[in-house]
Structure 1
């Protein structure tokens, strides 16, 4: 996956392992992620604590699993919400054109004018620091990407001969969109969705890292990295390494799968993943 040509199979396995840890980890390794045990603080990985403990004696494997559950719950929500609203905006702008296209795209351009992370941080601060506001901020930044891509696809599709034929046969705009436009934009949604999935995990971790996402004692990978940074330089590497590895694997796997999906769906790629 990380050497030579990226493998979709390896990326899929990485994501499946992380999903399994998120779903079954808290059940099998049933410990309280917020339980403080000062006597067990800063213990290296061992049989009792496979990923070690942090400065408060909390089991890192438990917190890693709960952090995976949080990230892998929010990321799909961002993908679905962004695809729905962004796709709706893009289709309306691309199919109906005119004033709706001008107004909607200017709004999307205004959102795109801000760096995504800065905008997500601003939304989080405005709504109040926490996981929910961080998720809303990430969703907002993902909408213009979908809108721009779907509008481009809709503009290309609406000028094709079969669309003209459907109009000549009396098909209305709603039927044309449902029967002839939507099926052709699904590949774009799939590729963009895979990219947004990785972006969501990375941005959620970044917001947690700067203190705007999940707040302690909530287990979240970015927050765990922040809490462990001061101990990494004194030799307690495991506090930062494991949540950092989780972010790295999840984001890399999502990006590899996005590339492979695009290769399969793009005719110019020859259908090879």
Structure 2
């Protein structure tokens, strides 16, 4: 199909454009009637644009948008904004399951929180239609979508998540807690993510909560200590049985 042409030969895509798309955290501003005013004021565009062609996809997409092509022309070239995956599935679990995976190892960085909201969005929230819920999941007109692919109730899954076993890590400076364990889920039909109902999926979770983020330069050096704390926690004799039964054996089975 024409739409898939840019993805057939990813090696021909310019690296800087691919990196820009993968980290376009502000890319959805183009969908907001309010925040998009920032584009006009600063004369910048936070959204990488791609057209449906095998080479020059980013160049053509940007050219069409910057020249304010008519909607008919944009549709003809199948121009689309390619932005941060956090707006749809920030875990990549849905993509794996849609491609047939029944066992998934999910490494989750939950920041200073105790659980992953992105993980919970993959489960039934009761009132989600086409990615939008009645609870109001948008900010300044920018939608944060949820595409449930599992039948289990999101609130109950959150409780299971919070009750996952935690490794022992005394004296850690940056590691808040590290949870490991397995959650079981059953797929539902989701045309947006490409899942079909009735498949059983085992999700082996490694959830890391820390006091390190990426908003200051100091934290780049702090990450080395943080990684060492994770390594020490997973290799500590006190955690050997837990790591073996909840992480290594499920991963290798």
TM-score (norm 1): 0.29
Higher helix share: 1
Higher relative contact order (CA 8 A, sep 6+): 1
Greater Rg by CA: 1
Higher strand share: 2
